[in-house]
Amino acid sequence: MNRRTIVVANWKMNGNLNLVEEMSKRLNQVQLDESVDVIVCPSFPYLATMATKLTHKNVYLGAQNMNAQTKGAFTGEISTTMLQEFAVKYVILGHSERRSIYQETSVEIAQKVSAALNSGITPILCIGESADQRTAEQTETILAAQLQPVIDEIGIEKFNEVVIAYEPVWAIGTGKTASPEMAQATHQYIRQFLSANNTEIADKVPLLYGGSVNAQNCEALFAQPDIDGGLLGGASLKVDEFSQICSTVKGS
């Protein structure tokens, strides 16, 4: 099964208008493999500006979060209808920082996934285990517990419109990266878990790896059979490195 390769830039609470200008200019000129898509997810204040500057046909705008409600008295929140006005095509949901710092539950994240799909925005569903959980050999249990509420909420058939990003929490921003073999084994488990519900759908879902991905390790990681790209944090803030990663990644 050929799946598109996806490279996602998650700027988190970083960046400025200068980075928006420099990154968009570089990405508009980058040479991408025909089956590679790039998604840039800046902080909310920069969505409007970035939306006017991205012109490459395979580079899309994404958001870092959203509320499951379409409107209402939710101070500080962002709705899908707001994102749609800026041509946002993707949204990161369930990132480990949202789960740990803001105590978002897997059920709440599943509701957000449903809301995104209903608005025509592709959710990038993040899952991953902590260092203690991996040491205790609970990785598969944790990933299953994060995936099942989403399956229960939207049904397995809707996963053909979902991107999954596996990010081991212990590798995010730490400089530690799962070996290509370790990452592949976990991605294979994720696909097998989905296959238990629907093999055809499981084969279609893009599975991304995240956690200290950079120009030095991306090719080895993305060459694994069940790794279809990456969700990048720190490296996505570096114009030269991120554009290099995008241009060297090969599609499926």
User: Which one, of 161, 199, 163, 168, lies nearest residue 185 by Cα?
Assistant: 168
Distance CA 34, CA 65 (A): 28
SS3 230: strand
**Residue 25 CA: distances (Å) to CA of 18, 50, 250:** 11, 10, 22
Phi, psi dihedrals of residue 2, rounded to the nearest 5°: -85, 125
User: Which one, of 203, 208, 214, lies nearest residue 237 by Cα?
Assistant: 214
95 is catalytic: yes
56 is catalytic: no
Helices and strands, number each (H, E), in the chain: 11, 8
Distance CA 25, CA 251 (A): 23
Strands 229-232 and 207-210: parallel
Residue pair 26/243 in contact by the 8 Å Cβ criterion: yes
Residue of 104, 108, 129, 167 marked active site = 167
Residue pair 109/94 in contact by the 8 Å Cβ criterion: yes
User: Which one, of 85, 80, 60, lies nearest residue 70 by Cα?
Assistant: 80
Residue of 95, 104, 108, 153 marked active site = 95
Q: Which are the catalytic amino acids? A: 95, 167
